[in-house]
Amino acid sequence: MILLDTDHISALQADGGAARDHLLRKMDASEDQDFAVTVISLEEQMRGWLAEIHGELDFTRQVGGYERLAGLTSFYSHWAVVGYTTKAASQTIQLKKAKVRIGTMDLKIASIAKSLNVLLLTANEKDFGQVPGLRRENWLR
């Protein structure tokens, strides 16, 4: 299994672009065709659209946010969504004790990948590079 971090998911959601095209070519060429996303990425993106909707008082201007939220649910319905399990939570606790200092959402995504011993596709080398033993690659470049 190969997990996609939120940055790789966002590239796939974009309407074209070199990063998206490059990622799709790499995915097509991969021996492992078992791609998945995490419930944490879903939460991150959903929170963003909900914040946009709730921050807009003009009902007619909320329509675009709701359209993007509906598009998000449609996008994720085509993917295997890997949950945040007790095993992943234990991994998160271990990483916190080891003083890995990255954002909570990234820590949870890393914990899911580590608990499953799978490759994580991410462009965020600065943060995920701090996680010992995490298998990661950037397929956007």
Q: Which helix (H) or strand (E) holds 3?
A: strand 2-4
Q: Is residue 15 situated within a structural domain?
A: yes
Average pLDDT over residues 115-119: 98
Residue 122 is encoded by which pair of tokens?
A: 């991410």
What is the structure's pLDDT at 16?
82
Could you give the number of structural domains in the chain? 1
Residue 2 DSSP class: E
Write down the pTM of the prediction.
0.93
pLDDT of 131 above 90: yes
- Return the residue matching tokens 């990661």: 136
Q: Is residue 26 situated within a structural domain?
A: yes
Percent of the chain residues past pLDDT 90, beyond the cut? 96
Mean of pLDDT over the chain: 97
With cut-offs at 50, 70 and 90, classify the pLDDT of residue 90. Answer: very high
Show the domain range for 24: 2-42+81-137
Phi, psi of 129, deg, nearest 5: -65, -15
Average pLDDT over residues 12-17: 88
Q: Is residue 75 situated within a structural domain?
A: no
CATH number at 107 reads 3.40.50.1010
Please, is 105 exposed, middle or buried when counting C-beta atoms within 10 Å of its C-beta (0-12, 13-18, 19+)?
middle
23-57 confidence digits (pLDDT tens): 999 999 999 999 999 999 999 999 999 999 999 99
